[in-house]
C-alpha cells in the first residue's frame, strides 16, 4: 500500500517532503546544540554566581570600623599605681574608655543614653588598651590618641551606609546613628584593615572573631594527614602495582579501595568516633584524631593516583634495571619511584585539598566545639577552617555573615593555590615516554 502511494508521488512532491523533513531535522540539530550551550552556560553561571555572591558578602570583613579616641590612662580610674601583670589583670580599662567617650560626647546624660554611648566601642577594646599598656608601661598617667575597634552593630551600620542612603540600622538607635554620622563626618571613625581577623581565634563577638585558631587547627590536621596518608598510600600503590600477584586477595583489595573512594565522608566520622575516640580513648576535638580520620578518607584517592603514576613509567626502565642485576626492590626504589614521584605528589596535593575542605567527619569527632585558644600541638583541642565556617554560618549576628564569607574566601584561595600548584607540577615535571 505505502509503496504504491509513494510511487504515485511526483518527483516534485518527494523533493518537497525531503526538504521539509530536512528542515525539521536541522531545527532539531540546532535545538540540541542550543541545549548543549545552555548547559555549559548554566554551569559557568553557577560558578560566577557562587563566587560573586561569596566575594560580595565577604569582602567587607577585611575592613573594620574603628573609632579614634583620646585615651587617658588615669591611675585613679584604672585603680592601679604601677604596671605589672597582677595589676593589669584587674585594672579598670572599661572605665578609661567610658571616660574618654563621655569626654568626646559631653552632652550625653542619663543611664540609657550612656549605655548607648558605651556600646559604640567593641567589648574587646579594654584588652587592646591592656596590651598597649603592658607593652609601654611609661604610658601610665599619660594621654594618647588611639584607634579602637567599633562594636559589630556599629560596623554593620557603617558598612551598609555605602549601599543605601539610610543604611541598615538593626539594633542601632537613631541617636546612636547620629553619633556615628557625626564621627564619620569629622573623620574620627574610619574603616581600617581588619588585622584582628587574621590574628585572633574564635569569639562570640564578631569584631573580635578571627580565623587564626582555625587555620592552625587545619594546618596540624593536614600535617597528620599528610604524614600518614602519603607514605601508606605510596607503599600500598607500590605493592599493588609492582608486586601483587593476580589473585582473589588482590582483587578484594582493589574492589575495597574503589568502594572506599565512594563511601560518604560522614561514615568515616562514625568510624573515628567509635574506634579512635570510644575504643582507643584518644582526646576529643584533637587534630590528631581529625588527621587519622582524614587519612583513612584520602587514602583511596592517593592510592589510585599513585598507581596511575607508577603505571605511566614504561616497563623498559624496569627491564633495563633488572638486566643490570638490580633486585626488584632496587628497581622500584631506585628507578621507578623517582620517575613516578611527580605524579604521586600531584595526587597527594589533590588529596590534601580534599581533606582541607572536609567538614562532616570532623563534626562527629568533636572538632565542632567553641575553641578560642590557638592550638599549639596535635593533641590540643582545635577546630578547622571549614568547621569554623559552619559554626559562623549558624550565628545570628549579621556581622558573622560577612566573616563567614571572608573565611570562605580564605579557604577557597588555599584550595585554588593547592590545585593550581598540582596542575603546574604535573605540567612541569610530567614526562611523556
Report in angstroms how near the CB of residue 401 gets to another protein at its nearest. 7
Q: Of residues 2, 262, 316, 325, which one binds another protein by CB under 8 A?
A: 262
Query: Which triple of cell numbers denotes residue 336?
Result: 621507578
Confirm or reject binding of residue 304 to another protein (CB under 8 A): no
Q: Which of residues 374-393 bind another protein (CB under 8 A)?
A: 386-387, 389-390, 393
Q: Find out whether 365 and 276 touch, Cβ atoms under 8 Å.
A: yes
The residue range among 153-161, 204-212, 215-223, 253-261 that interacts with another protein, by the rule CB under 8 A, is 253-261
Q: Is 408 near another protein (CB under 8 A)?
A: yes
Q: With CB under 8 A as the contact rule, which of the stretches 130-138, 157-165, 180-188, 322-330 interacts with another protein?
A: 322-330
Contact with another protein (CB under 8 A): which of 6, 20, 39, 143?
39
Binding test (CB under 8 A) with another protein, winner from 38, 227, 324, 424 = 38
Residues 323-362 that bind another protein (CB under 8 A): 327-329, 353, 356-360
By CB under 8 A, which span of 87-95, 119-127, 208-216, 254-262 interacts with another protein? 254-262
**211 is a site residue for another protein (CB under 8 A):** no
Nearer to another protein (CB atom), residue 161 or residue 304: 304
Q: What is the SS3 assignment for the chain? A: CHHHHHHHCCHHHHHHHHHHHHHHHHHHHHHHHHHHHHHHHHHHHHHHHHHHHHHHHHHHHHEEEEEEEEEECCHHHHCCCCCCHHHHHHCCHHHHHHHHHHHHCCCCCCHHHHHHHHCCECCCHHHHHHHHHHHCHHHCCCEEEEEEEECHHHHHHHHHHCCCCCCCCCCCCHHHHHHHHHHHHCCCEEEEECCHHHHCCCCCCHHHCCCHHHHHHHHHHHHHHHHHHHHHHHHHHHHHHHHCCCCHHHHHHHHHHHHHCCCCHHHHHHHHHHHHHHHCCCCCCCHHHHHHHHHHHHHHHHHHHHHHHHHCCCHHHHHHHHHCCCCHHHHHHHHHHHHHHHHHHHHHHHHHHHHHCCCHHHHHCCCCCCCCCCCCCCCCCCCCHHHHHHHHHCCCCHHHHHHHHHHHHHHHHHHHHHHHHHHHHHHHHCCCC
Nearer to another protein, 266 or 341 (CB): 266
311 lines the binding site for another protein (CB under 8 A): no
Q: Which one among 119, 194, 200, 404 touches another protein, defined by CB under 8 A? A: 404
Contact set for another protein, span 114-143 (CB under 8 A):
none
| Given 9, 14, 18, 263, the residue binding another protein (CB under 8 A) | 263
Return the residues of window 44-63 that contact another protein according to CB under 8 A. Answer: 44, 46-47, 50, 53-54, 57
Residue 109 is a binding residue for another protein (CB under 8 A) = no
**In contact, 415 and 353? CB cutoff 8 Å:** yes
Q: Segment contacting another protein (CB under 8 A): 94-102, 147-155, 204-212, 231-239? A: 231-239
Rule CB under 8 A: choose which of 55, 177, 239, 395 binds another protein.
239
Closest CA to 156 of 142, 148, 143, 167: 167
Give me the least distance between CB of 175 and another protein, in Å please. 31
> Of the listed pieces 98-106, 153-161, 205-213, 363-371, which binds another protein according to CB under 8 A?
363-371
Taking the complex as a whole, the smallest distance from the CB of residue 432 to another protein amounts, in Å, to: 19
Closer to another protein by CB, 139 or 260: give it.
Answer: 260
Instruction: Please give the torsion angle defined by the CA atoms of residues 110, 113, 119 and 121, in that order, rounded to the nearest 10 degrees.
Output: -80
420 binds another protein (CB under 8 A): no
| Among the residue ranges 13-21, 42-50, 92-100, 184-192, the one whose residues contact another protein (CB under 8 A) | 42-50
Amino acid at each position: 500500500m505505502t509503496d504504491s502511494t509513494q510511487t504515485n508521488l511526483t518527483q516534485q512532491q518527494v523533493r518537497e517532503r525531503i526538504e521539509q523533513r530536512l528542515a525539521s531535522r536541522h531545527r532539531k540539530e540546532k535545538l540540541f546544540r542550543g541545549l548543549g550551550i545552555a548547559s555549559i552556560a548554566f554551569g559557568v553561571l553557577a560558578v560566577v554566581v557562587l563566587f560573586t555572591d561569596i566575594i560580595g558578602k565577604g569582602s567587607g570583613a577585611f575592613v573594620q570600623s574603628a573609632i579614634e579616641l583620646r585615651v587617658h590612662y588615669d591611675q585613679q580610674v584604672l585603680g592601679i599605681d604601677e604596671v605589672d601583670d597582677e595589676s593589669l589583670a584587674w585594672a579598670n580599662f572599661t572605665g578609661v574608655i567610658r571616660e574618654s567617650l563621655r569626654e568626646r560626647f559631653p552632652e550625653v546624660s542619663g543611664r540609657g543614653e550612656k549605655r548607648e554611648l558605651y556600646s559604640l566601642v567593641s567589648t574587646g577594646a579594654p584588652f587592646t588598651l591592656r596590651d598597649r599598656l603592658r607593652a609601654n608601661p611609661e604610658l601610665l598617667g599619660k594621654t594618647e590618641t588611639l584607634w579602637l575597634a567599633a562594636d559589630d552593630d556599629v560596623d554593620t551600620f557603617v558598612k551598609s551606609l555605602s549601599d543605601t542612603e539610610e543604611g541598615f540600622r538593626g539594633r542601632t538607635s537613631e541617636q546612636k546613628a547620629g553619633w556615628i554620622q557625626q564621627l564619620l563626618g569629622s573623620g574620627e571613625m574610619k574603616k581600617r584593615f581588619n588585622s584582628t581577623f587574621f590574628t585572633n581565634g574564635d569569639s562570640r563577638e564578631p569584631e573580635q572573631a578571627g580565623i587564626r585558631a582555625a587555620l592552625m587547627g587545619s594546618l596540624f590536621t593536614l600535617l597528620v594527614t599528610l604524614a600518614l596518608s602519603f607514605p601508606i598510600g605510596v607503599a600500598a600503590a607500590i605493592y599493588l602495582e609492582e608486586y601483587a600477584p593476580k589473585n582473589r586477595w588482590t582483587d578484594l583489595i582493589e574492589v575495597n579501595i574503589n568502594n572506599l573512594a565512594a563511601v560518604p565522608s560522614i561514615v568515616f566520622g562514625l568510624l573515628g568516633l567509635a574506634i579512635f575516640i570510644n575504643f582507643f580513648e584518644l582526646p576529643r576535638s584533637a587534630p590528631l584524631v581529625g588527621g587519622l580520620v582524614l587519612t583513612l578518607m584520602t587514602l583511596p584517592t592517593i592510592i589510585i593516583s599513585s598507581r596511575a603514576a607508577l603505571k605511566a613509567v614504561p616497563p623498559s626502565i624496569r627491564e633495563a634495571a633488572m638486566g643490570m642485576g638490580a633486585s626488584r626492590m632496587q628497581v622500584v626504589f631506585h628507578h621507578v619511584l623517582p620517575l613516578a614521584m611527580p605524579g604521586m605528589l600531584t595526587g597527594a596535593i589533590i588529596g590534601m585539598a580534599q581533606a582541607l575542605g572536609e567538614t562532616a567527619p570532623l563534626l562527629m569527632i568533636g572538632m565542632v566545639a567553641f575553641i578560642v585558644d590557638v592550638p599549639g600541638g596535635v593533641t590540643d583541642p582545635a577546630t578547622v577552617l571549614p568547621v569554623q565556617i559552619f559554626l559562623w554560618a549558624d550565628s545570628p549576628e549579621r556581622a558573622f555573615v560577612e566573616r563567614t564569607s571572608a573565611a570562605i574566601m580564605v579557604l577557597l584561595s588555599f584550595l585554588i593555590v593547592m590545585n593550581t600548584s598540582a596542575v603546574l607540577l604535573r605540567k612541569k615535571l610530567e614526562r611523556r615516554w
